[in-house]
Structure 1
């Protein structure tokens, strides 16, 4: 397969004796323009409905002087992608150079022409090709393996060792710029990149000494000029952007990974701090190089054979490797900011200032956001083929078939990329919720005999205005929705809040004070929630929660600032209501069964929702429905006896969907007896 011509720039290792320790990259000062990395809310990034143009690569800008135009800086984060730095192009170029090595042609005949990376990697693993490459320098003593009794695997390792040893001893390659046997024999692309750098360095020396064969291009190998006057289509531009930005992204990951290595080598900050900032960047870089190889392989195919959705479907599960890094990004930025003065001692261009480092830490999530946008734009660029007709000639039918297949491929890829992004957002949400739960545990002094580990996972939380059933006065509560329970908490303060008498609120809920202790003011078990009613109108977005209380039905209303948040809570509450809803045993005519034990003992059951507190006006009281909400039409709710003790019992363990272990049934031999409650 013919590959596009490329210009090989600097693929040799960067040695301290000739270039700076940062790979020759010039470190430029950068402005301190603000850049936000702290995630607000519980979602990191929106879905693919965002504008493609709004997700640029994050160039760093400096405000102009005296209100002048904004000026982009010459910073490493703005560095253009260098195609020759991708592993795919490195291997394509290296194969071309190896054709000039004397006696190397038999090895090249073993390579698969459609895959420039893995076959070359496996070839070098055999060891002998490295000896031929080194011997092209015509050393006084050519390298060879002189152990006929050794196994082939051992001979390969001996050959690799001799090559590395000769490069360091005879060619003065520093150990830090060389590679070890495990770099070549392992599966980490970062290790193989080191191998290609050393091999290219040896070839550079052979070329300088005039020891390589002269290569003559055959007519079919010469680059073909684009047809005169031809223009790229919209889809061609999208494909070009996908390939170019993918190369740029991998280059950014390499720069971030290089900073990590520099910090580890110089010991500027402790190793555990390095890990907390960069986490699994090594694995992400390795995966992304492999993904780029697939992208560039697709790009090398004829246009009609390109299937851009296939790489995203193939690697969908492998993208899970991003979740820990993206969930940790917010904390990583905070830690990096705290020790940034020490990070700057590395004199690495990625650490030019904190904004630059922060920008690199944000790159992975930004890339996942952009994938669905690129695929959707490519999908939209292909017109939907019309149904085949009897008048279609074979060429038209073939074209319609190709368009339909391409659209299906892109749609599948876009859906896979959307799922990857969704899982990444879920990882961020989970990290934020775990942090909120830890904070809640530390802030509440009196859990009133409840065990937090029995609540299930924390699903939603926030500070919202609440109107209880006994008053139309809105007060702020910190609300936490768990799988099994809904908690309403209020800041514990020795003095009454002055805004209690203010019934005309317009500014929304107050900001959270994370250092203030909390009091439990309301606890509703999801097993007892009967209805979730949402109402949205201009300027008012509310969710009303109805539950079985003492006596009858009680309710309260949560006020939200926007419809999106209201819907999120309404869906979350309704989902948990259904998950925790007990199955009531019914008689054949559909009327709920009423058992003697229930009738005899229901009257004395304690209501678990009533809070004994000095501040009585903040606790939930008798149910009175606000005028804007109708009373639920559940006829079975009003006829249910008080279930306070059931609520307590249902909460002793995690409630599983479909179980009704706390509700006695007609055919249950283990129905509670009077003595059981004691």
Structure 2
């Protein structure tokens, strides 16, 4: 009889057999779903067999040694991080949050440009926002991740509390690697088919014992290769492999209730130290929501496998739609194990901050999730086979899928709030207070980088769309404007009189220029590219070929491009522009307004941007301040004329007439370097 048939393990990934996804979304996840507690229960059941006691003790000592080695490695890394933080803080005090150092020029912030659109890739460099977690090239990111993986000597992340020697997950993994304990377990279950027990620290002998156990399970328990594990699985550092091993062990234990008590018979109550205090309540919320998050990731992982099994997507599309999902789950299981360990000790002994210090590079796994989320949802929902097989899938429609795909980014943005609350309830004199402060900064940087990735991806699509919306670029090349940083519909008044009645413009802030457009009253064609003069130079042709494609997927994703207006997109007329290098001063006025003072070789003036809310105004203000600071650092010793001539584009004064007649809104040319921009009609 196959012992695994019709047996649902609480260790395995979530079952597909759910009536609807609302049950999954609202399912209450407890400690019984946590790998940490599953291992605790299995360990307690194994302790009932006296023959296993010396092997359990040896596994404990080995796990303890590994935890000590990991703590030493992390202490060294933490010291390096503090030194890096001091250096970054010093640099960020003189450089912008959006930009690289002056010597690297503005264009080094990102290579998201129209010239690179034909390759449909985004390549970003790191932001110098006093951050611990910074984007880098894919090569360096992989290098950093590999470096951190080498520090993972146990199944926990970070440094354990001083009162904790090791975690039960690492202990059980080391127990199984001895080989002979598996034979002892089998002999207890099937005494009529006893295996030879050979205790040794020789790896070859250990592997021979594991091999004997696997063969015996096939022969006497009729388990298949798919149901069993391999020798390499035993020595793997993978939580997924360990879960498979635990499934088999649990099945054997369940078959001998007279020797191994059932899981329900093990009296172990999960408790959180000082759970009635404010700190304890926050730890409880942190832990419970983390358990649910890991469970939801496993649901999503099962769903992704279903899509491949039902031939809805292929393996290449699998990675594009669910990037790094397996690696993310591996990381988050370890993250949860570490939280479980810390929740058991007194507040002053907890090392939750250390978890984030150790995790800083692993959070880079989430970067692909911040790009193309909407595209992934729309792509799957657009596939006919998705709707046809919905009844067989664990996630059944687009709305449910969206809920799960958004969870990773939502969770990352939740960490800063939880850590901030923990920091507020941690005494300043606590030995781990500084570590918690560091964790807060790391979590904020992670969330900021995720948001920045999403913003850049959206802006990349907006620029492609903008190219086709403009009636006449008047000789200007959008590919030379730099990265699009912000865009919005803004009312503008001239001369600083914010009481004037104003016209609304669509304003685009690039790295090198602010460009103003007014709506022409005509609509863009369905392809989004009709009617525009070539403002892209050499990138124009390649843009037209790729504009309907996704940055990630290569088909059926044109409907995910962000729109600038509700409903149909209107065509735009170019009304004015001012080079960032000619801006002298940016001053907030009131709650929503921003006064910009500019100067050219022949004249000077100012205008006021009127935003809808204070937050948007503040974002634009900070960005412009940073841009101006960078240019002053590069060209501060040069006169206005030399600063002007350092750019290939021209500068014009923006003269906004308050008459709402479109013809009265004109642009007075003051000085050009390469080409003169005609006055608008």
**When the two structures are superposed, what TM-score results if normalisation uses the length of structure 2?**
0.64
8 A contact 2:488–2:508 mirrored in 1 = yes
Residues 463 and 511, structure 1, Cα contact 8 Å, conserved in 2: no
Q: Deviations over 1:255-304 (max 9, x none)?
A: 22122222223323333443333222211111111111111111223454
- Alpha-carbon RMSD across the aligned residues, in angstroms, is 4.5
Say which structure is richer in helix: 2
Residue in 1 that maps onto 2:355? 311
Secondary structure of the corresponding residue to residue 283 of structure 2: helix
Q: Secondary structure at the match of 1:488?
A: strand
| Compared CA separation, residues 223 and 199, structure 1 to 2 (3 A) | closer
Q: Secondary structure at the match of 2:189?
A: coil
Residue 306 (structure 2) aligns with: 262
Q: Which residue of 2 aligns with 1:609?
A: 652
| CA shift in 2, pair 1:480/1:105, >3 Å | same
Structure 1 equivalent of residue 631 of structure 2 = 580
Indicate whether 1:199 and 2:243 are aligned: no
Matched, 1:125 2:177: yes
The unaligned stretches of length 5 or more in structure 1 are: 1-11, 31-59, 61-74, 386-400, 496-508, 587-591, 623-641, 649-678
CA distance in 1, matches of 2:436, 2:671: 54
Offset of residue 574 of structure 1: 2.2
Report what 1:287 is aligned to.
331
After superposition, the Cα gap between the structure-2 partners of 1:378 and 1:188, relative to the gap in structure 1 and judged at 3 Å, is same
For residues 63-212 of structure 1, the aligned pairs below 5 Å read: 75-101=23-49, 103-112=51-60, 114-138=166-190, 142-143=194-195, 153=203, 156-157=206-207, 159-168=209-218, 170-205=220-255, 207-208=256-257, 210=258
> Residue 584 of structure 2 aligns with which residue?
530
Following superposition, the deviation at residue 309 of structure 1 comes to 2.9
Greater C-alpha Rg: 1
Contact 1:263 / 1:346 at 8 angstroms: preserved in 2?
no
CA contact (8 A) 2:515 2:578 kept: yes
Tell me the secondary structure at the aligned position of residue 417 of structure 1: helix
Cα gap change, 1:213 to 1:552, in 2 (>3 Å): closer
Measured in 2, the distance between the counterparts of 1:213 and 1:607 equals 82
Q: Give the aligned length.
A: 516
Superposed, 1:598-677 pairs within 5 Å as 608-609=651-652, 617-621=664-668, 644-645=672-673
- Partners of 2:383 and 2:478 lie apart in 1 by 35
Give the Cα–Cα distance (whole angstroms) in 2 for the partners of residues 22 and 318 of structure 1: 22
Q: Indicate conservation of the 8 Å contact 1:468/1:557, yes or no.
A: yes
Q: How does 1:286-435 map to 2 (within 5 A)?
A: 286-339=330-383, 342=386, 345=389, 347=391, 350-381=394-425, 401=429, 404-405=430-431, 407-435=433-461
**1:344-403 per-position Cα deviation (integer Å, ceiling 9, x unaligned):** 726567414443332222222332333333333344445x68xxxxxxxxxxxxxxx5xx
The correspondence for 1:28, drawn from 8, 19, 28, is 19
For residues 77 and 616 of structure 1, the distance between their equivalents in structure 2, rounded to whole angstroms, comes to: 55
Q: Distance in 1 between matches of 2:465 and 2:297?
A: 33
Counterparts of 1:552 and 1:301 in 2: how far apart (Å)? 68
> In the alignment, is the contact (CA less than 8 A) between 1:22 and 1:348 conserved in 2?
no
Could you say what secondary structure the match of 1:109 adopts? Answer: helix
Aligned to 1:475: 503
The question of whether the paired residues in 2 share the 8 Å contact of 1:340 and 1:354 is answered with: no
- Kept in 2, the 8 Å contact 1:455–1:484? The answer is yes
> Which deviates the most, 234-243 or 337-346?
337-346
Tell me the distance in 1 between the aligned counterparts of 2:47 and 2:463: 62
Q: What TM-score does the superposition give when structure 1 sets the normalisation length?
A: 0.65
Larger relative contact order (Cα-Cα within 8 Å, sequence gap ≥ 6) = 2
**Alpha-carbon distance between aligned partners in 2 of 1:91 and 1:188, rounded to the nearest angstrom:** 15
Residues 550 and 607 of structure 1 are in contact (CA less than 8 Å); yes or no, is this contact kept in structure 2? no
Contact 1:479 1:489 in 2 (8 A): yes
Is the CA contact (8 Å cut-off) linking 1:190 and 1:286 kept in structure 2?
yes
Seen in structure 2, the aligned counterparts of structure 1 residues 376 and 510 have a Cα distance that, compared at 3 Å, is: closer
3-state SS, counterpart of residue 341 of structure 2? helix
Asked whether the equivalents of residues 370 and 450 of structure 2 are also in contact (C-alpha less than 8 Å), the reply is yes
Distance in 2 (alpha carbons) for counterparts of 1:24 and 1:621: 68
Note if 1:436 corresponds to 2:469: no
Instruction: Give the Cα–Cα distance (whole angstroms) in 2 for the partners of residues 18 and 27 of structure 1.
Output: 13
Matched-pair contact (CA < 8 Å) for 2:367–2:453: yes
